[in-house]
Chains A and B, each alone.
Chain A
Amino acid sequence: MTGRHTTPPATAPLPLLSDPALLSELHRDMLRFARLQLRDAELAEDAVQEAIEAALMNAATYAGTATLKTWVFGILRNKIIDILRRGSRSPLLSTVIGSDNDDEDGAIDALFRANGHWHPGSRPAAWAAPEESLENKQFWAVFEACLDHLAENVARVFMMREMLGLETAEICAELGITANNCHVILHRARTGLRGCLESNWFVKGACRTC
């Protein structure tokens, strides 16, 4: 498990990109990530191809400070952002989110009593050893399932912000939504993920101790 943190020497000829088996595994992981972000198999394949080509062409600039996979994923994220910026905004996204443009959010309201306090059942519990979960691949399966459980448009805004690292101002401009709307959606996404992780991993999940 610690092996994946081993940093290849900067002079190594990028073994991950020249070994067919490793490259195929990397390609699969990149494609999954790109599909999640772009929700389009062809665009995702384009992004991955462009990222791998760019990585191969710029191999000399790889400083060896990040793991190679992290470095390649950084390139992939930039390619995905390029594609999002090039493309037209999704009409589905703007209509669904545009219809939900006030400060209140039913999904959030349901967690609170009328006086604004948490409902006893939704009050956030303390999580045991969350950091250890990061090394457990079953945790990541739960995380992906929880991500998948968010409404598609909510998940898209969340991923643009948290995974692609776009500022909310750019997300607003890209999707034609207000800053307030963006904050409402991100609040809903984070709260939804939090509740899902809590009930499927940290509290009810039986893996807490491993």
Chain B
Amino acid sequence: MLSCKKASRLCSEALDRELGLRERLALRMHLMMCSGCTNYHDQMAFIRRVTTRFADGDLPPHGETGSCSEDTPENR
């Protein structure tokens, strides 16, 4: 049984190399039972989308007004 530490490492490595069959199965089994690592796994994919957009210069336009400035309950 994979530990969360090892599972998170495999989630990361899956972005850099093709995992072996045994690694893929072990990771899939772990993710079925572990919501923390499932969140981690999904967030790794999200972070890749973020970095890809960043590297494309594809960011929301610069502006003086923050889109959050009006309805942000920052000080509640």
Size category of the binding interface on chain B: 35 or more
B36 contacts the other chain (CB 8 A): yes
B5, B40, B61, B72: the one within 8 Å of A4 (CB): B61
A116, A159, A183: the one within 8 Å of B3 (CB): A116
Complex interface: stretch among A6-14, A53-61, A87-95, A121-129: A121-129
Residues on A with C-beta less than 8 A from B5 are 108-109, 111-112, 116-117
- Contact assessment for B67 and A112 in the assembled complex, using a CB-CB cutoff below 8 Å: no
- Contact assessment for B52 and A162 in the assembled complex, using a CB-CB cutoff below 8 Å: yes
- Contact assessment for A70 and B58 in the assembled complex, using a CB-CB cutoff below 8 Å: yes
- Contact assessment for A117 and B4 in the assembled complex, using a CB-CB cutoff below 8 Å: yes
Chain B facing A: main interface SS: helix
B75 to A: closest C-beta gap in Å: 8
Q: A108-B5, A186-B16, A190-B12 are in contact. Are A73 and B55 (CB under 8 A)?
A: yes
- Contact assessment for B59 and A115 in the assembled complex, using a CB-CB cutoff below 8 Å: no
- Contact assessment for A70 and B47 in the assembled complex, using a CB-CB cutoff below 8 Å: no
